[in-house]
Amino acid sequence: MSSVLVVCGAGASSTFLAQALRRQAAVRGIEHTFTPASVSALTMPLASVDFVLMSSHVAGFFDQAKTAAELIGAIALQLPAVGFTPAGADVALDLLGSVPQETTESGNHG
């Protein structure tokens, strides 16, 4: 199971996407945890995540997300423009699933 920090501008969009991701992950039988956050979370040390999933509308913060993720051995991924719907969640889950499995077992679960 991987832990995913879903990042958007103020935290509202990431909440909607995290909810859609939870539903679609359950449909697919995937065991991930999804925690919504705003870009301000990137100014604090990250902990207990395997992935930082950036919403497309905050792409300008991706380098900051990548640096924060690398400090804890996590992977930052930039989402394409997706809706906060099951279809958008499927795109995000496909992106997460494209990362080789051995890189997602980092032990970043606190």
The number of domains in the chain is: 1
Judge whether 47 lies within some domain.
yes
Quickly state the pLDDT bin for 105 (edges 50, 70, 90). very low
Residue 62 lies in domain: 2-98
pLDDT digits (tens, 9 = 90+) for 6-19: 998 877 788 888 99
Q: How many whole angstroms separate alpha carbon 46 and alpha carbon 94?
A: 24
16 inside domain? yes
Question: Using an 8 Å Cβ cutoff, are 46 and 69 in contact?
Answer: yes
pTM value is 0.79
Is 107 inside any structural domain? no
Average pLDDT, the chain: 84
| Distance of alpha carbon 54 from alpha carbon 69, whole angstroms | 11
In a domain, 28, yes or no: yes
Model pLDDT for residues 61-80, shown as the tens digit of each residue = 999 999 999 999 999 998 88
CATH number at residue 11: 3.40.50.2300
> Is residue 18 situated within a structural domain?
yes
73 found inside a domain: yes
